[in-house]
Amino acid sequence: MAVTTPATSASGPWLIVGLGNPGPEYAMNRHNVGFMVVDLLADRIGGRFKRASKAQAQVVEGRVGPPGPDSRRVVLVKPMSYMNLSGGPVNALRDFYKVPLANVVAVHDELDIDYGTLRLKLGGGDNGHNGLKSMTKAMGADYHRVRFGIGRPPGRMQVADYVLKDFSSAERKELDYFVDRAADSVECLLAEGLERAQSAYNS
């Protein structure tokens, strides 16, 4: 049976969702790498996050890419509802901005990938990630994901403890580079499509 790929809209806006938890105590946690990536994207377009009027989230509106018709309108999103309730704010913003589901991109930490490795894909399961689980429950699974590898916890450390700890001092030496590369992959996805972005950034 043929598998159909949901159509994206070149002219419509893209919703780029960084998954994480609000508050300074979580800012450098592994679970908050999605926030780090959308923060960098906001810096690149000269935007500052502000409270959304239609959802429990912070947003930045702008354009990504070269000036002119090839640029993409984006809404960068940081849900402020805590990870396991991310779907409600994201779906409210998707409705408000009239964003097709395939124009939603979730940027999130991924346990089953080595630290710093990226995997881009469309649709799929949540692999136990509470942010993805909430988003999929709210609006379906056929959105894009930028999966940022954080590796598995060492020894017998519980997963919940591991993801809610800050990146280690060794990891932080390369964190800026990996976050920068993840932001690049988002821009490539929007400008050139999933297959080109996967070819360039999946490793």
Which residues are tagged catalytic?
Answer: 31
CA 105 from centre of chain: 6
Alpha-carbon gap, residue 110 to 117, rounded angstroms: 9
HEC profile of 72-115: EEEEEEEECCCHHHCHHHHHHHHHHHCCCHHHEEEEEEECCCCC
Residue 134: closest CA among 92, 99, 97, 88: 88
Helix (H) or strand (E) segment spanning residue 50: strand 50-51
For 12, which DSSP code? S
CA 13 from centre of chain: 15
